[in-house]
Amino acid sequence: MVQAWYMNEEPYDKREEHHKNPPKFVPLDDLFKLTGVEYYKLDINNLKSDETLENIKKERGYTYEDQITISPEHLPNYEEKLKIFYSEHIHTDEEIRLCVEGSGYFDVRDKNDSWIRVLVVPGDLLIVPAGIYHRFTLDTKNYIIARRFFVGEPVWTPYNRPADDMAARKEYVEKLNGGT
Ligand code: KMT
Ligand code: NI
């Protein structure tokens, strides 16, 4: 099950948990209200018989799918890629990730610009909305396999902060703050 908490922002290893003292967890319902991030739990050992994934793909029109393994041994240009993943950025489209093995952290900014750290483990599917400031890191185990989905041809381009003038950013902020 996914877990989320507010981060302490001290500059030690990003792969550590970075809990506040005392820890301040974010219930899943709050995660959506505070960030727009959506979460689904899938039965990773029985994905074929779990209709949740097929339904999500159909409903949201995901036509593209691949799988990425992130570890020092498997990912070409590992250090460079991780630096890019951990630079605070937005995308013009949703970032959809299903953790199938290993684990990792998606950090997302909440309404008040505080970092919330979301731990994904096998079976966790996250939909990170277009326009939200976020970043990704491995945890201390240095290993994740994730499936990625997209509507049409994938565009993974990150736009580093500040990107406040981009349409995707403006639309995200408006939706989060008013739903109008
Ligand atoms: C991204 O865009 O941040 C990534 O693809 C890395 C995370 S996938 C587990
Ligand atoms: Ni991203």
- For 73-104, write each residue's pLDDT tens digit: 999 999 999 999 999 999 999 999 999 999 99
Tell whether the model's pLDDT for residue 49 goes beyond 90.
Answer: no
Residue type, 20: K
Nearest alpha carbon, ligand 1 atom 1: 85
User: Do the interacting molecules here have an ipTM over 0.90?
Assistant: yes
Q: What's the average model confidence in pLDDT over 46-57?
A: 92
Predicted local distance difference test score (pLDDT) of residue 180? 52
Predicted local distance difference test score (pLDDT) of residue 2? 84
**Assigned token pair, 17:** 């948990």
Q: How many domains does the chain have?
A: 1
Atom of ligand 1 nearest to the CA of 156: 2
The C-alpha atoms of residue 19 and residue 111 are separated, in whole angstroms, by 19
What are the residues whose beta carbon lies below 5 Å from ligand 2 (ion)?
Answer: 95
Residues whose CB falls within 8 Å of the CB of residue 154, separated by 6 or more in sequence, listed in order: 64, 66, 148
Predicted local distance difference test score (pLDDT) of residue 172? 98
Report the mean per-residue pLDDT for the chain.
96
- Cα angle 62-34-52, degrees, rounded to a multiple of 5: 30
91 is in an annotated binding site: yes
Predicted local distance difference test score (pLDDT) of residue 20? 98
Q: Would you put residue 129 in left (φ > 0), alpha (ψ -120 to 50) or beta? A: beta
pTM of the predicted model, to two decimals? 0.97
> Among residues of the chain, what percentage have pLDDT more than 90?
95
Ligand 1, pocket residues at CB < 6 Å: 68, 85, 95, 97, 104, 136, 144, 146, 156
Predicted local distance difference test score (pLDDT) of residue 51? 92
CATH of the domain at 163: 2.60.120.10
Nearest alpha carbon, ligand 1 atom 8: 146
Residue of 85, 149, 155 with the most ligand 1 atoms within 8 Å of its CB, for mutation = 85
Q: Which domain holds residue 58?
A: 3-178
18 is in an annotated binding site: no
Q: How far is CA 53 from the centre of its chain?
A: 17
